[in-house]
């Protein structure tokens, strides 16, 4: 999981995204079939799960996988991708 998070962070930096200088955080849950599965609080106070292509995981390429719900926190959710 650390390797995946590092790969995601490096890819976001290359895309010009630096979450450390903003108020959101991507948390790589995993990757499968060319997609990152990312838990994030960007535009989602209680977190949401998005997918992004490994080749270009910039936020503009994110697709909603599990949407944000204001009444339910998804922080720390476990997703089994295998």
- Tens digit of pLDDT for each residue in 35-75? 988 888 888 888 888 999 988 888 889 999 988 888 887 77
Contacts (Cβ under 8 Å, ≥6 apart) of 74:
39, 44, 46, 47, 48, 49, 66, 68
**pLDDT for res 33:** 92
Residue 27 backbone phi and psi in degrees, to 5? -125, 110
The better pLDDT of the pair 63, 13 is held by 63
């Amino acid at each position: 999981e650390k390797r995946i998070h590092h790969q995601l962070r490096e890819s976001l930096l290359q895309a010009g995204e630096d979450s450390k200088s903003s108020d959101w955080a991507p948390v790589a849950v995993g990757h499968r079939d060319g997609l990152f599965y990312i838990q994030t609080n960007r535009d989602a106070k209680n977190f949401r799960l998005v997918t992004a292509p490994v080749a270009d995981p910039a936020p503009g390429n994110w697709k909603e996988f599990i949407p944000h719900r204001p009444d339910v926190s998804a922080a720390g959710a476990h997703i089994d991708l295998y």
